[in-house]
Structure 1
Amino acid sequence: MDFSLGDEERQIRDTIRTFVEREVMPLEDEVLRNERAGLPGLEPGVLRELQEKAKRAGFWGINTPEEYGGIALGAVMSAILAMEVGRTFVPFSFGGSADNILYGADEEQKKIYLLPTIAGERRSCFAITEPGAGSDARNIRTRATRSGADWVINGEKTFITGGNEADFCMVFAVTDREKGADGGITCFLVDRDMGWKSSPIPTMGQWGPAALSFQDVRVPAANVLGEVGRGFDLAMRWIGQGRFMIPARAVGAAERLLGMAIDYANIRESMGHKIADYQAIQWQIADSQVEIEATKWLTLYAAWRVSRGLDPRHASSIAKLHGATTANNVVDRVLQIHGGMGYTKELPIERWYRELRLLRIFEGTDEIQRRTIARNLLKGHVRLGGIGD
Structure 2
Amino acid sequence: MDFSLSTEEREVRDWVRTFVQRELVPLEQEVLRRERAHQPGLTGEELKDLQLKAKESGFWGILTPEEYGGMGMSAVMAALLEAELGRTFVPFRFGGAADNILFHANEEQKQAYLLPTISGERKSCFAITEPGAGSDAKAIRATARKDGTDWVINGEKTFITGGNEADFTMVFAITDPEKGANGGVTCFLVDREAGWKSEYIDTMGEWGPASLIFQDVRVPETQILGEEGRGFELAMQWIGQGRYLLPARAIGSCERLISMAIDYANTRETFGQKIAERQAIQWMIADSGVELEALRWLVLSAAWQVDQGVDSRHAQSMAKLYGGQKANEIVDRVMQIHGGMGYTRELPVERWYRELRLLRIYEGTDEIQRRTIARNLLKGHVKVGGVLG
TM superposition score category, shorter chain reference? over 0.9
Does 2:278 match 1:278? yes
Contact 1:65 1:72 in 2 (8 A): yes
The corresponding residue for 1:4 is 4
> What do residues 203-224 of structure 1 show as CA deviations (whole Å, max 9, x unaligned)?
0000000000000000111111
The corresponding residue for 1:320 is 320
2: distance between equivalents of 1:21 and 1:105? 38
The corresponding residue for 2:258 is 258
2: distance between equivalents of 1:220 and 1:188? 9
Does 2:31 match 1:17? no
Contact 1:98 1:117 in 2 (8 A): yes
Does 2:121 match 1:121? yes
1: distance between equivalents of 2:351 and 2:200? 20
1: distance between equivalents of 2:331 and 2:174? 41
Does 2:204 match 1:210? no
The corresponding residue for 1:191 is 191
TM-fit CA distance, 1:387: 3.6
What percentage of residue pairs aligned between the two structures are identical?
71
Return the TM-score normalized by structure 2: 0.99
The corresponding residue for 1:354 is 354
After TM superposition, list the pairs within 5 Å mapping 1:347-386 onto structure 2. Answer: 347-386=347-386
2: distance between equivalents of 1:75 and 1:340? 40
> What do residues 115-146 of structure 1 show as CA deviations (whole Å, max 9, x unaligned)?
00000000000000000000100000000010
The corresponding residue for 1:50 is 50
Runs of 5+ consecutive residues of structure 1 not aligned to the other structure: none
- Code of the aligned partner of 2:8: E
- Code of the aligned partner of 2:139: N
> What do residues 247-295 of structure 1 show as CA deviations (whole Å, max 9, x unaligned)?
0001110111000000000000011000001110010001001111111
TM-fit CA distance, 1:177: 1.2
After TM superposition, list the pairs within 5 Å mapping 1:91-240 onto structure 2. Answer: 91-240=91-240
1: distance between equivalents of 2:124 and 2:62? 18
- Code of the aligned partner of 2:182: D
Contact 1:66 1:72 in 2 (8 A): yes
TM-fit CA distance, 1:67: 0.5
TM-fit CA distance, 1:386: 1.2
The corresponding residue for 1:267 is 267
1: distance between equivalents of 2:308 and 2:178? 37
Contact 1:240 1:312 in 2 (8 A): no
> What do residues 57-87 of structure 1 show as CA deviations (whole Å, max 9, x unaligned)?
1100000101100011111100000000011
1: distance between equivalents of 2:266 and 2:171? 51
1: distance between equivalents of 2:141 and 2:283? 49
TM-fit CA distance, 1:305: 1.1
Aligned with 1:182: secondary structure?
Answer: coil
The corresponding residue for 1:338 is 338
After TM superposition, list the pairs within 5 Å mapping 1:270-309 onto structure 2. Answer: 270-309=270-309
1: distance between equivalents of 2:74 and 2:183? 31
1: distance between equivalents of 2:223 and 2:148? 14
2: distance between equivalents of 1:290 and 1:178? 51
> What do residues 135-170 of structure 1 show as CA deviations (whole Å, max 9, x unaligned)?
100000000010111111000000000000000000
TM-fit CA distance, 1:385: 2.3
2: distance between equivalents of 1:293 and 1:120? 35
Contact 1:241 1:306 in 2 (8 A): no
2: distance between equivalents of 1:387 and 1:95? 33
TM-fit CA distance, 1:383: 1.0
1: distance between equivalents of 2:84 and 2:19? 10
Aligned with 1:267: secondary structure?
Answer: coil
Aligned length: 389
2: distance between equivalents of 1:23 and 1:275? 33
- Code of the aligned partner of 2:169: C
TM-fit CA distance, 1:242: 1.1
TM-fit CA distance, 1:326: 1.1
2: distance between equivalents of 1:195 and 1:227? 23
1: distance between equivalents of 2:321 and 2:387? 20
TM-fit CA distance, 1:388: 2.2
- Code of the aligned partner of 1:61: G
